Amino acid sequence: MGSIIDVRSVTKRFGGFHAVDDCTLSIEKGSITGLIGPNGAGKTTLFNMVAGTYVPTSGQILLDGEDVTGLPAHELFNRGLLRTFQIAHEFSHMTVTENLMMVPAGQSGENLASVWLRPARVTQEEAEVRKKAEEVLDFLKITHVKNELAGNLSGGQKKLLELGRTMMVDAKVVLLDEIAAGVNRTLLNDLVSNIERLNQELGYTFFVIEHDMDMIARLCDPVIVMAAGSVMTEGHIEDIQKNEAVIEAYFGG
Ligand code: ADP
């Protein structure tokens, strides 16, 4: 299918320190690719560059074959790349439906002049966005909380809402940070099955940083292992777990 993200010889230096060091990797279109590695390996820094939060010191990042090196997060968002889960982005004082309706970019309702000039168009767009929000709630099976204030949701429900936000813009590739953190087992199962359905039914690609190895094993194939700022190996989780160099990187002195 080809790659949707290509990281080519990317380095990020902080002062003299190479947090990411000549790192090259590709994320296959339609995959759920995991990124693991010991603390300090450079995973978060790499994610920050792919997501447009940090600009690489050198190297190139391609999204669907186009050079997007150094583009800010909102530009990447417009091109279908989203990052989610690390921070609770939800607006706690708004309902779940309203949170979903906030997402789509470029609605004419955002522009005051167009509200004045063409109210009918705004109303029609709002109706379309509301319909889309309802479809998303239905897909994720969280219609029962649609009128809840987002601030009242549990940790896991908030993560489902964040997945829903990515669906509002038909994201191509979603970067997930720490899916399992702070989520109870039942909701974790919902989250995992929804990620799998988004992948299988709607063709989403996921790139996942996760500390929970069970979660990685359930969800991710392939898994990329980073150590000391670059890729150590890549493959199926069963092979990775048997790899001596990986074991040494995790547990060695
Ligand atoms: P991981 O996510 O794999 O634990 P990080 O990407 O967070 O690794 O960090 C990689 C290395 O870069 C660590 O040694 C960390 O201390 C360093 N580092 C990360 N961010 C910064 C920063 N903003 N300034 C200086 N050093 C940083």
d(CA 209, CA 207): 7
pLDDT recorded at residue 107: 43
Closest C-alpha residue for ligand 1 atom 24:
14
Report the C-alpha gap between 160 and 85 in whole angstroms.
Answer: 10
Residue 81 — pLDDT band, cuts 50, 70, 90?
Answer: very high
pLDDT band at 179 (very low <50, low <70, confident <90, very high): confident
Pocket test for ligand 1, best of 17, 45, 207, 230 (most atoms within 8 A of CB): 45
Mean pLDDT of 52-70: 97
pLDDT at 103: 77
Share of the chain above pLDDT 70, in %: 90
The helix or strand, by DSSP H or E, that contains position 105, with its residue range, turns out to be: none
pLDDT of residue 71: 96
Higher per-residue pLDDT: 178 or 3: 3
Give CA–CA dist 167/148, Å, rounded.
19
pLDDT band at 187 (very low <50, low <70, confident <90, very high): confident
Atom of ligand 1 nearest to the CA of 48: 6
CA of 247 to the centre of ligand 1 (A): 21
Pocket lining for ligand 1, CB < 6 angstroms: 14, 17, 19, 37, 39-45
For residues 53 and 73, the answer to whether their CB atoms sit within 8 Å is yes
Question: Mean pLDDT, to the nearest integer, of 229-250?
Answer: 93
Q: Separation of 19 CA from ligand 1 center, angstroms? A: 6
Q: Are 227 and 38 in contact (CB under 8 A)?
A: yes
Cα–ligand 1 centroid distance for 23 (angstroms): 14
Q: What is the ipTM of this complex?
A: 0.98
Query: Is the pLDDT reported for residue 87 higher than 50?
Result: no
Q: What is the pTM of this model?
A: 0.88
* Interval 99-133: pLDDT, tens: 898 876 544 444 444 445 556 666 788 888 899 99
Which domains are present in the chain? 3-90+168-251 (3.40.50.300), 91-152 (no CATH)
Question: Which atom of ligand 1 is least distant from the CA of 37?
Answer: 3
| Integer Cα distance of 15 and 57 in angstroms | 11
- Determine the pLDDT at residue 55: 97
Question: What pLDDT score was predicted for residue 85?
Answer: 65
d(CA 231, CA 22): 9
Q: What is the mean pLDDT of the chain?
A: 88
CA dihedral 68, 99, 110, 136 (to 10 degrees): 70
pLDDT in the model for residue 181 = 81
Contact 102, 94 (CB under 8 A): yes
pLDDT(228) > 50: yes
pLDDT band at 83 (very low <50, low <70, confident <90, very high): confident
For residue range 128-152, list pLDDT tens digits in order. 889 999 999 999 889 999 999 999 9
Number of Cβ within 10 Å of residue 42's Cβ equals 25
Q: What Å distances lie between residue 189 and 14, 134, 202, 240, CA to CA? A: 38, 22, 19, 24
Contacts of 141 (CB under 8 A, 6+ apart): 190
The confidence score (pLDDT) of residue 123 equals 78
